[in-house]
């Protein structure tokens, strides 16, 4: 007797073992350690923390190891863990002007107070494979800089804002608590707080493509990178019992502020407006893309034409999340044979009817009706016995008699 294809628990458990084996690879090679991943794959760790919405380099490294280097899978692991964490409180806003900088560049001014700091960047490396990395090089740590950078360095946008050339970003009246995308469903139209949160966790590839599309003509932003900075900032928590804020830790972030020209309207003269990007860790491509998309989604509130994909809040915000996207795309590998069977049944019926129509049209050569015009007549004859069923379907569950069959 035929045994239907069944998944079964044993198969699932075996798949765990096989995955474990696949992930580990050749056991003759030493196993990756979490400190190695944290220290030597910091950009992967940054991306997983940003899209996972959780700042923890150790857990991000664990997720990367467990996911065998699949960063979207690692993001998923981190998100699922994050769900179980309870919320202790909200920090004070971080102050990126007081960032301990590793890098800071501006594309809008040749020199800025504090100077341009290139820092660790791939920008001006020549992308030639470095074969000396094939062997384990013995490297000596970099000597510290002669003079430390100042603890506070003004942001280029602050300087522009001082001259009222840049639209000010001020808290809403009454400074309401920001929307929390991880606790509330997205509602449209979404406020900028919700949009920025959505973009902050959005897939880097998607943000990059959307940002790129605005540069190529799908959207009308002409942005300048006013400033990109990367470094660490202190996170402060206001403790009610103490009456003051205490530093609870330090996080590395990358911030990008793009400025675009705005023609002005009845309320404001022409000035620059801002697109904002922020990412956990070192993620310059991500922060820049985010700021482009943020600005693109402000088109309608600024009275600009907003008909490009990146201007469409609903389109962008519903498709940024790679955990959602990856799950839904891959759910197509789950069985769909019930739906498929329903479609198959309809297709067979339509084909049978079509064959019958063609046949009858050939026989009844004198009839003026074309095969397609004949279809409704055939249909009515067909369904003559069905109204009883259909009306029944509306009034009582069709399954009831089946039950009587069994219980009697």
Partner 1 sequence: MTAANANPAAPVERDPHYNFGYLDESTKRMLRRALLKAVAIPGYQVPFGSREMPLPYGWGTGGIQVTAAIIGAADVLKVIDQGSDDTTNAVNIRRFFGRVTGVATTESTRDASIIQTRHRIPETPLAEGQIMVYQVPIPEPLRWLEPSETETRTMHALAEYGGMHVRLYEDIAQYGHIATTYDYPVMVNGRYMMRPSPIPKFDNPKLDCSPALMLFGAGREKRVYAVPPYTSVKSLDFEDHPFTIEKWDECCDICGSENTFLDEIILDDRGSRRFVCSDTEYCARHAAENESPFRDDSEAQRTAAPQIGIDAGDPAHVGAAS
Site for partner 1, residues 9 to 28, rule: CB under 8 A = 9, 11-12
Q: Decide if residue 345 touches partner 1 (CB under 8 A).
A: yes
Q: Which residues pair with 231 in a beta bridge?
A: 101, 253
Q: Which of 322, 272, 332 is nearest to 302 (CA)?
A: 272
Of 119-127, 203-211, 284-292, 372-380: span binding partner 1 (CB under 8 A):
372-380
CB of 272 to partner 1, least distance (A): 30
Q: Decide if residue 107 touches partner 1 (CB under 8 A).
A: no
Between 82 and 192, name the residue whose CB sits nearer to partner 1.
Answer: 82
Q: Decide if residue 343 touches partner 1 (CB under 8 A).
A: yes
Residue from 66, 353, 356, 371 touching partner 1 (CB under 8 A): that is: 353
First CA to last CA across the chain, in angstroms? 29
Q: Decide if residue 118 touches partner 1 (CB under 8 A).
A: no
Q: Decide if residue 355 touches partner 1 (CB under 8 A).
A: no
Residue from 18, 187, 217, 241 touching partner 1 (CB under 8 A): that is: 187
Q: Which of 169, 191, 193 is nearest to 271 (CA)?
A: 169
Place of tokens 């469903």: 185
Query: Burial, 375: exposed, middle or buried (Cβ in 10 Å; 0-12, 13-18, 19+)?
Result: middle
CB of 338 to partner 1, least distance (A): 5
Question: Is it true that the peptide bond before 276 is cis, omega within 30 degrees of 0?
Answer: no
Q: Decide if residue 246 touches partner 1 (CB under 8 A).
A: no
Residue from 118, 152, 305, 346 touching partner 1 (CB under 8 A): that is: 346
Q: Decide if residue 401 touches partner 1 (CB under 8 A).
A: yes
Interactions with partner 1, residue window 189-218 (CB under 8 A):
189
Residue from 122, 124, 244, 406 touching partner 1 (CB under 8 A): that is: 406
> Count residues contacting partner 1 (CB under 8 A)?
77
Do 281 and 122 touch, CB atoms closer than 8 A?
A: no
Do 68 and 22 touch, CB atoms closer than 8 A?
A: yes
Place of tokens 């949160």: 197
Q: Decide if residue 261 touches partner 1 (CB under 8 A).
A: no
Q: Decide if residue 30 touches partner 1 (CB under 8 A).
A: no
CB of 73 to partner 1, least distance (A): 10
Residues 104 and 227: their CA atoms lie apart, in Å, by 7
Between 120 and 397, name the residue whose CB sits nearer to partner 1.
Answer: 397
Collapsed DSSP state (helix, strand, coil) of residue 49? helix
Look at phi and psi of residue 243 and say left if phi exceeds 0, alpha if psi is from -120 to 50, else beta: left
CB of 407 to partner 1, least distance (A): 9
Residues 79 and 201: their CA atoms lie apart, in Å, by 10
Q: Decide if residue 177 touches partner 1 (CB under 8 A).
A: no
- Cα dist from 341 to 25, 345, 348, whole Å: 41, 6, 10
Enumerate residues 6+ apart whose C-beta is below 8 A from 52. Answer: 60, 63, 74, 75, 77, 78, 79, 82, 201
Interactions with partner 1, residue window 296-325 (CB under 8 A):
314, 318, 323-324
Of 37-45, 75-83, 169-177, 359-367: span binding partner 1 (CB under 8 A):
75-83
CB of 56 to partner 1, least distance (A): 15
Mark out the alpha helices in 331-385 (DSSP H runs): 337-363, 371-382
Contact mark string toward partner 1, 263..282, x via CB under 8 A: --------------------
Residues 199 and 206: their CA atoms lie apart, in Å, by 10
Between 92 and 344, name the residue whose CB sits nearer to partner 1.
Answer: 344
Most distant CA pair in the chain, distance: 102
Interactions with partner 1, residue window 86-105 (CB under 8 A):
86
Enumerate residues 6+ apart whose C-beta is below 8 A from 33. Answer: none
CB of 361 to partner 1, least distance (A): 14
Q: What is the CB-side half-sphere exposure of residue 387 using CA atoms within 13 A?
A: 4
Residue from 47, 65, 79, 274 touching partner 1 (CB under 8 A): that is: 79
């Amino acid at each position: 007797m035929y045994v239907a294809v069944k998944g079964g628990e044993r198969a699932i458990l075996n798949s765990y073992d096989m995955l474990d084996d696949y992930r580990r690879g050749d056991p003759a090679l030493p196993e990756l350690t979490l400190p190695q991943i944290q220290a030597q794959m910091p950009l992967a760790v940054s991306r997983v923390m940003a899209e996972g919405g959780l700042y923890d380099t150790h857990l991000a490294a664990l997720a990367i190891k467990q996911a065998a280097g699949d960063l979207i899978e690692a993001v998923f692991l981190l998100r699922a863990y994050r769900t179980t964490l309870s919320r202790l409180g909200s920090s004070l806003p971080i102050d990126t002007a007081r960032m301990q900088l590793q890098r800071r560049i501006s594309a809008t001014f040749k020199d800025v107070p504090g100077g341009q700091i290139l820092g660790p960047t791939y920008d001006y490396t020549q992308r030639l494979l470095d074969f000396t990395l094939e062997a384990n090089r013995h490297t000596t740590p970099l000597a510290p800089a002669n003079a430390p950078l100042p603890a506070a360095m003004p942001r280029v946008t602050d300087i522009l804002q001082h001259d009222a050339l840049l639209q000010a970003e001020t808290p809403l009246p009454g400074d309401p608590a920001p929307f929390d995308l991880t606790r509330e469903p997205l509602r449209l139209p979404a406020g900028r707080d919700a949009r920025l949160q959505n973009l902050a966790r959005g897939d880097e590839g998607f943000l990059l493509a959307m940002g790129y599309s605005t540069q190529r003509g799908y959207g009308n932003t002409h942005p300048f990178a006013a400033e990109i900075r990367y470094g660490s900032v202190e996170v402060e928590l206001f403790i009610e019992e103490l009456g003051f804020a205490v530093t609870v830790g330090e996080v590395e972030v990358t911030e990008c502020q793009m400025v675009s020209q705005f023609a002005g309207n009845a309320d404001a003269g022409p000035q620059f407006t801002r697109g904002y990007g922020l990412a956990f860790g070192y993620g310059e491509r991500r922060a820049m893309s985010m700021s482009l998309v943020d600005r693109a989604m402000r088109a309608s509130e600024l009275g600009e034409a907003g008909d490009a994909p990146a201007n469409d809040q609903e389109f962008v915000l519903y498709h940024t999340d790679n955990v959602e996207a990856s799950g839904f795309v891959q759910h197509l590998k789950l069985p769909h044979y019930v739906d498929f069977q329903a479609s198959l049944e309809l297709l067979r019926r339509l084909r049978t009817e079509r064959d019958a129509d063609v046949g009858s049209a050939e026989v009844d050569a004198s009839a003026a009706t074309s095969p397609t015009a004949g279809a409704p007549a055939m249909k009515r004859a067909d369904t003559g016995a069905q109204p009883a069923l259909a009306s029944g379907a509306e009034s009582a569950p069709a399954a009831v008699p089946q039950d009587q069959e069994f219980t009697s």
